[in-house]
Structure 1
Amino acid sequence: MMIQKAKQLATVVAAIAILGGSAQAQDVLVTGKKITLPPLGAVQNVGSLPMNIVLSPSGKYAVSTDMGFRQSLWSIDAKTGAGVSHVDFPNNADGSNGLYYGLAFGPDGKLYAAQGAHDSIAVLALAADGTLTQTGSIAAQAHDFPAGVATDSRGYLYVANNDPATPLQPSSIAIYSTATGASVGRYSFSASFYGTPNYPLSVAALADGSKMFVTSERDGAVYVLNTSNPAAPALITSIATGAQPDGLLLNKTQTRLYVSNAHSDTVSVIDTATNAIVDTILLQPTGAHGLAGVTPNGLALSPDENTLYVSLGDFNAVGVVDLASNSLKGYIPAGWYPTGVVATDSKRLLVANAKGTVTRNPNPGYLTDPNGQYILNLIEGNVETIAVPNSVLLAQDTKLALANNRITPTTTNPVNPVSSIGVKAGKIKHVIYIVKENRTYDQVLGDVPTGNGQPSLAIFGQPVTPNLHAIAQRFVLLDNFYDCGEASGDGWPWSTQSIATENVIKNLPYNYSGRGRNYDFEGQNNGYLTGGFPAANPDGKTLSPVFPGGLPRIPDVTEAPAGHIWDAVKKAKLSYRNYGFFYSFGVGSLLPDNYPAASGLLPPGHDLAGVSDYDFRRFDSDYADSEAPITYYNQTGNPAFLYKITNYGKHQAPSRFTEWKTEFNQLLAKDPTGKAVPTFQTVRFMKDHTQGTSPGKHTPRSEVADNDYAIGQLVEAVSKSPIWDSTAIFVIEDDAQDGPDHVDAHRSTCYVISPWIKKSTVDHTFYNTDSVLKTVEGLLGLKPLSQYDAIADPIQAFDTAPTNGDVYTAILPDASIIGELNPSIVALKSNPTMARLAALSSKMDFTHPDSAPAQTLNEILWKSVKGAGSTMPAIRHGLSAAPAPKSAHAASRKHDGDDD
């Protein structure tokens, strides 16, 4: 019988004060949470995004593995925490070389490291002095994508093949001989969901080889295989553990298996003899039950096996679990997004922090080293040495960790400061949420004199974005706003569900570094539309000739436990309409194009039918956001104003705005009072992404101006309608994509437009993506989606009455900007710099968000505006925030019995 005992930290209640612990100081992250900064010398930098760490059989060293832009294996001295040796895995020209999560020592001391898209497992030796040397490699099958690895005493290596590159190819488990490297056996997870990958990640094997365990990120389960005959592994059972199980750890006697369930915020305890869950340990703190935001991943046992340590990614801490009672004892503050932990002895822990312990990252050498200064490359992961606290210090550490995470007894039900003007109060009854692409604050609003801007960085200033400038200056200028995401891959999850899943955190930098995997962050997994699709589209035409009967819904590994903002709206029984969020890109004729990928956005339809507008064009750089191109074409007859796709959908709309306006008019025709207009709308205007200097395409200035006019046109349409006095419009970028900004590369633009916004407000308060979601939730009367939006500060520029209700008139950008086209490479032969950038642009993928290399694209954008001979100023990574209080205890404090 499965026992489900959710144990909690009952001792942590009431208001939390910072009373000390192993911390020295604190600093705020763009996510709104804080980290405790370690003392000097307590960390070892190990590369980009370390995602696993294991202890050597001798216990003298730990080894970490990276999954970011710079991938290395590092050996760390277990006693001192200092780096001893490292082996780099630089990216090949074909983008294949690298590392991916899996890391295990064999009984003979050999180290096995999975290499993901390289389709191999590296074999290394760890010398007595800590020197790492690669001695060989085990070749996997093409497209296997090895992830988790484990060994047994018989001489077999077990490998979880996580994400085959071919669409609809199933995942598998492969078994190899460690002596010869030969493939011995294989088990394929092909029985369900049309052969789609279920993303097996971690592997654990019993020493006698009779049984192995593997987590499935998608299925929320641990699969158990009989491996007595390695040539014919067979499924015994699956154990439902929790959302996105991540790490596995066997105790010494191998009677218990611990499973970290990243998005249930629990650890499952499994009896390995019966394959039954005997306990479930809740790691969420009192006050935040039911809110994702702890994210257990790595696991470690103390030498006496009385304590389980759990790295908690989103909580920036290590959880301490008493195994006598299987209950949480407390938290130890760590760095930014810890992913692994080992107990080197009874006195100290080594913790891998995926994003390190530095929150301010200036990059003065951007042009001389753009690859090295790109945000996903610049953020340095590290391994931090933390002393094991005694019970008194653990209590203090726990209070500090809770304070860092802003957890209070009311976190689950936070105060709603905008409830008096929201939907339930009958005042603001309509919210429109617009998400754009990839601009920093200084790039657009750096020339606004009342804000903290740098005019020299405003490459898309007032002449290019007259509407955004007018809107910011009439309503509220927010100059201390930050995107939580670093690129579209995590920016869209942050913008729609207030958190990025463990799967997204791992795979974003791996994918963006060009090492493989699909862009699977907007409702698609390995190209599969997770919401499924029927046989026919709204016009009765077959959606996929390959799958004429359609495909079913499957779980989405990028979706957080509470789902997306539209799921919360549906749960609250509010009306909703989607324009462009999470539309599919299609895979040839295999899967449908321009079809909502997430289940909560289904079905699509024409003319207000369904949930999503089937006639609204998805992310597509060859289609206009606004009516500026068609307006100037009609005036001049010059085709240079037009994009490749001149119209789209049932209404042959020349722009995304036109299609939105068509349905808006239909809503007002249904009810001239505006009551038919949905309570919540999501709208995607994406042309500020640009296509760089791709020859023959519109210039970056032209595309940003097109995007600007779309915003202005939508605001004008609403301001001239009967719903104006009951509407709030929010406009953000999904990410800032590391463009130039003198404060921080995450700093971006946010516009809040409503008659209820105090006129010409300038607000310097720290806000982020979750602040916008928190404000939207407050107006709509929704509960938080995660800890992040629960603790976020809502935007505070609202008035008690709609005093700012004048009609807004959209400003048409100048024809000379809207009609700008990039010259051909031949035309640039006298300008070798721009010719080089044009050639680079022409080879970039602009069909998917952020598929072009952003570090190079930023240079292209800068020089396209400022000239080939210009030098782009340094880009900074830092935050404007009040100084954080210091811990009452020094980080170098001694523990009872600590003689080091």
Structure 2
Amino acid sequence: MGLRIRFLLAIVWFCLPVLTYAQQQVNILQVPGLGQYCKIDTAGISVLPSGRFITPAGKTIRITHDPFGLSISPDGKKAVTLHNGVLTLVDIATMNSVRVPSYDKKIASPLPNGSFLGVAFSPDSKTLYLSGGDDGAVIRYDAERFIKIDSISLNGKVGGKNYEDSFTSDLLYNPAKNELLVLDRGNFRMVRIDLATKKLTASVNVGRQPFGLALSPDKKVAFVANVGMYAYPLISGANPKNADSIMISRHPYGDNTKQSREGTVVEGRKIPGVGSPISPDAMSVFTIDLTTNKVTDKFKTGHQVGQMLEDAEVTGGASPNSIAVGSNYAYVTNATNDNITIIDYKNHRLLGDIPIKVDARIDKFRGLLPFGISLSKDEKTLYVALLGFNAVAVIDIPSRVTRGLIPTGWGASRVKLSANEDELYITSCRGYGAGPNGGAGFVAPPQGTYIGDIQLATFQKVAMPSAVQLAAYTKQVIDNTFASSTVNVATNNPLPVLPGSSATPIKYIVYITKENRTYDEVLGQMQNAKGDTTLARFGVHCEYTLPDATRVQFPNLNVSPNHIKVAGQFAFSDNYYCDSDASIHGHHWMMGVIPNEWVEANSDVSKTAKLFSSAPGRRFPGSTGSMDPEDYAETGGLWEALERKNIGFYNFGEANETAHVREDWEDTNTGAAHIVMVPMQKALFTRTSHNYAGFNTNIPDQFRVEQFKSEFTKMWITGKKKMPSLITMQVPNDHGADIRPKDGYPYRESYMADNDLAVGRILDFLSHTKYWKNMLVIVTEDDPQGGVDHIDAHRSILMLAGPYVKRGYVSHTHGNFGSILKTIYNILGVPYVNQYDVTASLLQDFFTDKPDFTPYTYVDSDTRIFDTKKAMARYSKNINWRKIKKSIDMDDEDREREDHYKQKGKKTSGTIVN
């Protein structure tokens, strides 16, 4: 069929929805920052990567990022927040703070190896007890003299049993016994420590990954919230000597299947099961009688896996995480379910859930993520930090009604009441966001420019609001989150305004994710866009600095010619942001799962894996490219949404990497070899390639292209099956790794050149298939972790390509992962899953109803920076696989931070015309 005929058919075809839907109007929700770029304005309105606004109530100061521990001194004068290896002391009256360690290094850290959640004051308001995290100890610290006083290890014998490899989690002070109650996430237990003798007096087994700890007012009952789903086993027979040879090349099973519950055999290896997701030890709340040190109840709070909610099956556990206790009832935040379970602990029963409702337009969707919780003295009001909604919810207990919302910083994590209940103290883990971390006029702050350093948290002091003030705060929170507009359902635009609301010629979507780059680094030279050419180190015609800091000129060096060509030939955004800071968050966000409190806290803690330890928690879940069962959303994300609507999809490379995989050159089946058995999402397990390498920078992206083309051709070109509606694929080598000149990677930028060529080749291949005339290709990054940008450290790459994408177009519409998912759901007619989907910006400006079927032709890489032949030569039959160096880890934050600062100071110049 000729181009002209196809064009005429497309025009006729586009008239059909207009006739069908007439001029029906509907309301759609979008973020308020639709036309704004990210910015930080602490005196006004800040714009987040999501396009939401931040306007914290009360008085706010900025502190170190990710404060997941918070305690108020008994005298009410001080607050202490605990971060990973850092604590911040706040004078509540003046709102002045002291960071330990100080940036000038005059005050040393008592936590050089990190910490996790637990912090408490002694009765004198001068001494602190701190979680030692990975060290498995409790640190006693003088908060006035800034001196470490003591360290008490959780390891050793208790009750005749020897415990090793402890990992300190939450803790609290029990004045009735002058003792500490401490959670050990390494050994899945609660420990009691007598402070007079510093002896461990009891060890009580609890559920998996104990996270939250609380005490009844009479000091007789302890409560433990367990966020772990499974205790992850090793392959049967694995030991330190055979570990390298016994691994399997993929995940062993889908979650909540017969194989995952009972075990199976994979590649000749006997694979233990992980049991049932509704086990009493999984995502539960234990009550402990402190007079007997016995567990009295194991409560399964919230909605349970397998339960049906309307037309969707629950696939993720409730994630109970924090507890507030009154004289008769305990209240538990279930992050995944957006509700609070009431426990009648004296009568050993559950009294149901309090759903947190914020606005009727979005209440059916999840995304509030309740985390920290406090109870008023009269036990009639709950204050709940909403991690996903940037607010504190005020809940009336008798009526079970949400009375209002108080605006906070980004990612509200903890909330406490003053003794007289005149004030609220709130921490938010991401505060106002990151802001720029490079470019003209940028001045580096004392904490540095790496995204994990520059993005400060907030501590907030808010006067207890009156009913009138609370109503105003509530309106502000809603206005900060979304706005409603009326649009016509009937549209000629190929992107419907709602899922399936109008016909579209786009039938196939290819969703490509890359790793760790910002906008300015790659596209900063593009014309008619907000770029900083001095930061475009991965652009074209760049000057280049070698690792030894010797400046060498490469005339007309082209690092990313295909990115520049694709952006110029099709469409790209200069106002697109990753919601994520790092890959752990990114691979959740981009697949439609909002990172919960476990992902946030667990990703920002120093931890050491000890696979053969007797402490099961040392085989911790800690996903990078995959989602662990601890992370799953209530009814899933993208995969589950597609499965529910019987929409075909297939995955190349996403979700292959868990925390403890090997990533060598030989692991080309999926990029990873597994020894710790972690399930994959059930919906994805049978729809993912076992012959495509996910994250593994030892494997060239050129190898991935060959894997992809081979499997695509076999299944959907020469095979009898039709291409599925959605393909997801990972092309990760722009992440970068150590230089390997013999392998064709003489510079770190060589990895970007490899990635650039792969993107070009994939688009070239797809645009020459029979599916191209109905295809949309989406190219983005999972996170901006390693890069720099003059607008915001979260700003990243979004390029769209296809016949129905505008040519030579720059979008200035504020976009994020939610915008991509809304695009996919609207085109494929799939209902939204969470609040970020339904409120995301609608990217209709990218599209045109006048198709251009011209295919894409890739540009060869510059061999001075990347040699394809060298990179692929190592895949000869004579290669000695076992002597090849292991790849770097996807989310090694210390390494990413180091590399970020090594790259600092590189300059490029030149402007690219679209």
TM-score, with structure 2 as normaliser: 0.73
Q: Which amino acid aligns with 2:898?
A: T
Q: 2:384·2:392 contact (CA, 8 Å) conserved in 1?
A: yes
Task: Show the counterpart of 1:747.
Answer: 795
Task: Show the counterpart of 1:464.
Answer: 559
Q: Which runs of 5+ in 2 are unaligned?
A: 1-26, 33-41, 156-163, 229-281, 304-317, 541-557, 871-883, 910-914
1:270-304 deviation per Cα after TM superposition (whole angstroms, max 9, x unaligned): 22202322242222322222322212212223344
1:236 equivalenced with 2:327 (yes/no): no
Q: Which amino acid aligns with 2:118?
A: G
Q: Which amino acid aligns with 2:815?
A: Y
1:72 equivalenced with 2:101 (yes/no): no
Alpha-carbon separation, structure 1, partners of 2:733 and 2:458: 37
Task: Show the counterpart of 2:290.
Answer: 227
1:813-853 deviation per Cα after TM superposition (whole angstroms, max 9, x unaligned): 1333322999xxxxxxxxxxxxxxxxxxx999614344562
Alpha-carbon separation, structure 1, partners of 2:98 and 2:470: 30
Deviates more, 1:421-430 or 1:377-386: 421-430
Task: Show the counterpart of 2:168.
Answer: 146
Q: 1:503·1:557 contact (CA, 8 Å) conserved in 2?
A: yes
SS in 2 for 1:714: helix
Task: Show the counterpart of 1:195.
Answer: none
Q: 2:217·2:325 contact (CA, 8 Å) conserved in 1?
A: no
| Match for residue 67 of structure 2 among 50, 53, 56 | 50
Shift of 1:761: 1.3
1:405 equivalenced with 2:481 (yes/no): yes
Task: Show the counterpart of 1:576.
Answer: 649
1:765-790 deviation per Cα after TM superposition (whole angstroms, max 9, x unaligned): 21112211111111111222321122
Shift of 1:189: 4.7
Task: Show the counterpart of 2:371.
Answer: 297
CA gap of 1:802–1:852, structure 2 versus 1, over 3 A, is farther
| Match for residue 116 of structure 1 among 118, 125, 133 | 133
1:170-249 aligned at under 5 Å gives the runs 170-189=187-206, 198-206=208-216, 210-218=220-228, 219-230=282-293, 233-234=294-295, 236-241=297-302, 243-249=318-324
Task: Show the counterpart of 2:79.
Answer: 62
Deviates more, 1:691-700 or 1:349-358: 691-700
1:676 equivalenced with 2:722 (yes/no): yes
Alpha-carbon separation, structure 2, partners of 1:215 and 1:499: 21
Q: 2:583·2:891 contact (CA, 8 Å) conserved in 1?
A: yes
1:278 equivalenced with 2:354 (yes/no): no
1:380-427 deviation per Cα after TM superposition (whole angstroms, max 9, x unaligned): 22311112211112111111111111166999x999982389878362
Task: Show the counterpart of 2:600.
Answer: 505
| Match for residue 100 of structure 1 among 109, 116, 124 | 116
Alpha-carbon separation, structure 1, partners of 2:730 and 2:482: 32
Alpha-carbon separation, structure 2, partners of 1:762 and 1:438: 22
Task: Show the counterpart of 1:419.
Answer: 496
Shift of 1:173: 1.9
Shift of 1:563: 1.9
Task: Show the counterpart of 1:846.
Answer: 888
Q: Which amino acid aligns with 1:667?
A: M
Shift of 1:730: 0.7
Alpha-carbon separation, structure 2, partners of 1:351 and 1:93: 24
1:608-657 deviation per Cα after TM superposition (whole angstroms, max 9, x unaligned): xx42111112321121112xxxxxxxxxxxxxxxxxxxxxxxxxxxx111
Task: Show the counterpart of 1:895.
Answer: none
SS in 2 for 1:566: helix
| Match for residue 426 of structure 2 among 351, 354, 369 | 351
Alpha-carbon separation, structure 2, partners of 1:119 and 1:721: 56
Q: 1:422·1:780 contact (CA, 8 Å) conserved in 2?
A: yes
CA gap of 1:63–1:799, structure 2 versus 1, over 3 A, is closer
| Match for residue 181 of structure 2 among 158, 163, 166 | 158
1:683-713 deviation per Cα after TM superposition (whole angstroms, max 9, x unaligned): 1111111114456551223221221121111
Alpha-carbon separation, structure 2, partners of 1:481 and 1:701: 23
Q: Which amino acid aligns with 2:213?
A: V
1:634-783 aligned at under 5 Å gives the runs 655-670=703-718, 676-693=722-739, 696=742, 698=745, 699-783=747-831
Shift of 1:469: 1.3
CA gap of 1:381–1:603, structure 2 versus 1, over 3 A, is closer
SS in 2 for 1:793: coil
1:844-880 deviation per Cα after TM superposition (whole angstroms, max 9, x unaligned): 9614344562232134456xxxxxxx65699xxxxxx
Q: 1:104·1:149 contact (CA, 8 Å) conserved in 2?
A: yes
CA gap of 1:132–1:371, structure 2 versus 1, over 3 A, is closer
CA gap of 1:771–1:278, structure 2 versus 1, over 3 A, is same
Shift of 1:658: 0.8
Q: Which amino acid aligns with 1:684?
A: Q
| Match for residue 566 of structure 1 among 635, 639, 660 | 639
Q: 1:693·1:860 contact (CA, 8 Å) conserved in 2?
A: no
Alpha-carbon separation, structure 2, partners of 1:379 and 1:295: 21
1:341 equivalenced with 2:415 (yes/no): yes
Shift of 1:753: 1.0
Alpha-carbon separation, structure 1, partners of 2:525 and 2:192: 60
Alpha-carbon separation, structure 2, partners of 1:355 and 1:85: 17
Q: 1:294·1:312 contact (CA, 8 Å) conserved in 2?
A: yes
Q: Which amino acid aligns with 2:895?
A: P
CA gap of 1:362–1:554, structure 2 versus 1, over 3 A, is closer
Alpha-carbon separation, structure 2, partners of 1:149 and 1:420: 49
Q: Which amino acid aligns with 2:170?
A: G
Q: Which amino acid aligns with 2:468?
A: V
Task: Show the counterpart of 1:32.
Answer: 51
1:427-451 deviation per Cα after TM superposition (whole angstroms, max 9, x unaligned): 2111111110111111111122232
Shift of 1:366: 9.4
Task: Show the counterpart of 2:681.
Answer: 600
1:858 equivalenced with 2:877 (yes/no): no
Task: Show the counterpart of 2:864.
Answer: 816
Deviates more, 1:86-95 or 1:729-738: 86-95
Q: Which amino acid aligns with 2:636?
A: G
Alpha-carbon separation, structure 2, partners of 1:806 and 1:588: 42
Q: 1:709·1:813 contact (CA, 8 Å) conserved in 2?
A: yes
CA RMSD of aligned residues (A): 4.1
CA gap of 1:857–1:557, structure 2 versus 1, over 3 A, is same
Q: 1:223·1:237 contact (CA, 8 Å) conserved in 2?
A: yes
Q: Which amino acid aligns with 2:410?
A: W
Alpha-carbon separation, structure 1, partners of 2:383 and 2:295: 32
Task: Show the counterpart of 2:149.
Answer: 135
Q: Which amino acid aligns with 1:113?
A: L
Alpha-carbon separation, structure 2, partners of 1:469 and 1:454: 15
Shift of 1:359: 5.5
Q: 1:293·1:786 contact (CA, 8 Å) conserved in 2?
A: yes
| Match for residue 509 of structure 2 among 427, 431, 443 | 431
1:311-460 aligned at under 5 Å gives the runs 311-344=385-418, 345-357=420-432, 360=435, 362=437, 372-406=448-482, 418-419=495-496, 425=503, 427-460=505-538
Task: Show the counterpart of 2:690.
Answer: 614
Q: Percent identity?
A: 26
Q: 1:481·1:766 contact (CA, 8 Å) conserved in 2?
A: yes
Alpha-carbon separation, structure 2, partners of 1:797 and 1:594: 42
Alpha-carbon separation, structure 1, partners of 2:766 and 2:194: 67
TM-score, with structure 1 as normaliser: 0.75
Shift of 1:15: 10
CA gap of 1:14–1:282, structure 2 versus 1, over 3 A, is farther
Deviates more, 1:436-445 or 1:219-228: 219-228
Task: Show the counterpart of 2:574.
Answer: 479
